[in-house]
A and B are shown apart, each in its own frame.
Chain A
Amino acid sequence: MTDTHKTKAKHMLRRDVLRIGGGVVLSAPFVSRAWAQTTEINMLAWYGHGEPDIVGAFEEANNVKFVPKYYAGGDNMLALIAQSPPGTYDVILSDAEFVQQLNLAGYIEELDANDYPFDDMLHEDFTKFPGHWDGDTLFSMMVRCGHLGVSYNTTAMSAEEASSYNGFWKPELEGKVGHFDWHLPNLGMMSLLNGNGAGLWDLSDDQWAAVQEKTMSLRPQAGGFFDYGGTFNGLKNGEMLAMCGIGDWITGALERDGAPVASVIPAEGGIQWTESYCIGKGTDKADIVKSFIQYMLSPEGQVKSAQMLAYPGFAITKAGRALLQEVDPAEANRSHQIDGMENEPIALINEGRIHYRDIPQQQTLEDWNDFWSEYKNA
């Protein structure tokens, strides 16, 4: 009897194996076909742009999957592209000041301006952003921006103290001023403090020497040099009480979590970071990438960008801002994206207090970087 059971069990087992195995074999073509239908889009971007909160809905609607490669800083982005064969990246998020370099090096495709909502931009500058056009040919589409100024812990610094870059020299902040480890925004801020205004990137030898001297005087206050994660942690755990080289793109994310931090545009002016999408040269997915860029410029995409978990940015289209105010008034209010509000970003641009981030005009990037290394070693 036992033997009979064993035999039966063996038979059932064999049958089960055949059934399951057969099912797997028969379903394999469908599975592989379903996989084949999912298009992978290789993205080169700052951290966060390929995360589900930004691309999830687009992926679901279009059966695509973003494969992001993240960088920190435009130089870093150029280095990554230069090391990769053409066609490696389908979509590239670039800092605006580096678009021209991408174009000169032949890393990006032309865009058709008619595909994008230029008539809905919040500011005229956004329609003809420097470096994005070569004559009448569009090469990159601006999608978001943000402002850099004085970022600080509100328990250690008053709003009045933060209203000037001189606040970084507050004696109580000795060893507590952090730097975002990228020379461009830090030295740009020092240039603004030196009164270079709109010419902050176009420095004569004397002006450049003065910027270096001013920056060096900040060294005793400096408590460290950080990447995105380090900056975030430094401000969050109170190790750093003020931060040079950043703005609401980091403090905004912390503020939303209830940390006592804020960013303001000081009297000397602030710097705008601008992010733009390009289609990688040699990609065979240009159509779907174009759709993605259009999606990011749609009101829905603009709201996602403003709410981005990694770091928030301003909406740049009127429809995007309107939808943000409607669906997330708290974020619109926190980031001053309401017409007539104090420190409203477009008004700041119109008042001439915001300067677009650029690369040094009379020195090379290596000159600035060498000085930055000297500063870190001082």
Chain B
Amino acid sequence: MALRGHAPIQGGNGLSGRRRIDIYALTWRLPIILWQLLFFVGPVIFMIVISFYVVKNYRMTEAFEFVNWQRMLTRGFFWDSYWYTLFIASISATVAMCLAFPAAWTLAFRASEAQRRWAVFLLIIPFFTSYLVRTFSWYVILAESGVLNAVLGYIGLGPFRMLNSHFGTIVGYLTLTLPLAVILQTVTMANIDKTLVEAARNLGCKPLATIWRVVLPLSKTGFIVAALFCFILAFGDFVAPFYLGGSQEPTLPILILDTTKSGQQWPRAAVVAIMMMLTLFTVAFAAIALAYRKPKGAKT
């Protein structure tokens, strides 16, 4: 006899048991499904629809015309912004992953459990303050008359132009992504079976080779997800390229702002936004496929 409220363990009415489990599962799934429908799927559909609207006298008018798509996708400045955004977001993600690795490796393999907890806590602290405030604080450090150039001046270097440049933009992106990259890499490597690393060393594998042939393959999924997060955050970020990069060159988020500022061209801004989403979906699916791809010859 099955316990009341539980699916029968053996025999009995299997259908009714499954139905009960489905309702239970659905109850927990429903909020997130509703949330996604209301705040993701709905707005995306709305955005796609308005990309076909036209603007007349500063007002959006319902229509089904391809003029916005045609206008944006045939403009050189759109593609310049597109490739630049793709490029600088990729560079930023790569730099974040490289800079994060030594810290994450130390935390995962050298630090004690308590030290690791404190380090993760300290890495989370920057997120307690506004990203905009953190970005503005770089002005004091990166300006030509700022702290960094003053220090470099003591050893006879500089001054270097760091604000309103690609360097400034990447610094801004790293402000956003680096702590996250360290945390994700740390968690990934901390879960590696340490005996495998020790076995590699005992069998004569050198430290760098151990990282390359043991640690990285075992961390592949986590590292790809971390890099993907860094890329997504940088690709959609407006603050760093605008305030630290001086809008030169403008990224796609800046282009969206410029487009809406002038003549209230929300439909054209929607075109840019849809192109961004398509790009992010493509990159995300490719990254996930790569992350979970089984090595050749692996047993399924």
Contacts and interface: CB of A to CB of B under 8 A. Distances in A.
Nearest to B58: A78
Contacts of B143: 237-239
A70 interface: no
Interface in A195-237: 222-227, 230, 233-234, 237
Interface residues of B, number: 36
Contacts of A182: 261
A377 B81 contact: yes
B144 A368 contact: no
Given A78-B264, A233-B139, A364-B263, A376 B59 contact: no
Contact of B262 (A223, A224, A230, A369): A369
B59, B77, B80, most chain A CB atoms within 10 A: B77
A101 B179 CA distance: 47
A183 interface: yes
Nearest to B260: A79
Contact of B58 (A82, A226, A369, A373): A82
Interface in B66-100: 75-77, 80-81, 84
Nearest to A175: B161
Interface in A275-309: none
Contacts of B164: 223-224, 234, 239
A369 B264 CA distance: 11
A34 interface: no
Interface in A310-355: none
Nearest to B72: A370
A-B residue pairs, 10 tightest by C-beta: A224-B246, A369-B262, A225-B247, A224-B164, A377-B80, A79-B264, A373-B77, A365-B263, A374-B77, A377-B77
Interface string B237-270: 0000011011111100001001111111110000
Contact of A238 (B59, B145, B266): B145
Nearest to B76: A374
B107 interface: no
A75 B55 CA distance: 13
B57 interface: yes
B246 A230 contact: yes
A75 B57 contact: no
B261 A73 contact: yes
10 contacts: A181-B258, A233-B139, A238-B145, A239-B164, A366-B265, A369-B265, A373-B75, A373-B77, A374-B77, A377-B84
A105 B247 CA distance: 32
A376 B139 contact: no
B80 to A, nearest CB: 4
A25 interface: no
B243 A230 contact: yes
B76, B77, B163, B261, most chain A CB atoms within 10 A: B261
